[in-house]
Amino acid sequence: MGDKNFLSWVGFKGEDQSQPAPKQNALERIRELETQLTDMRSRRDITGLSREEFEILATETAMTMIKSAQQREQKQMQQHKNLYLKQIVQQKKN
Give pLDDT tens digits for 26-49.
Answer: 778 788 888 877 776 667 666 777
CA distance 25 to 56: 42
The burial of 41, by beta-carbon neighbours within 10 Å (0-12 exposed, 13-18 middle, 19 or more buried), is given as exposed
Q: Where are the domains of the chain?
A: 23-93
Query: The pTM is what?
Result: 0.45
| Phi and psi at residue 16, to the nearest 5° | -125, 110
Give pLDDT tens digits for 8-29.
Answer: 666 666 655 555 555 667 778 7
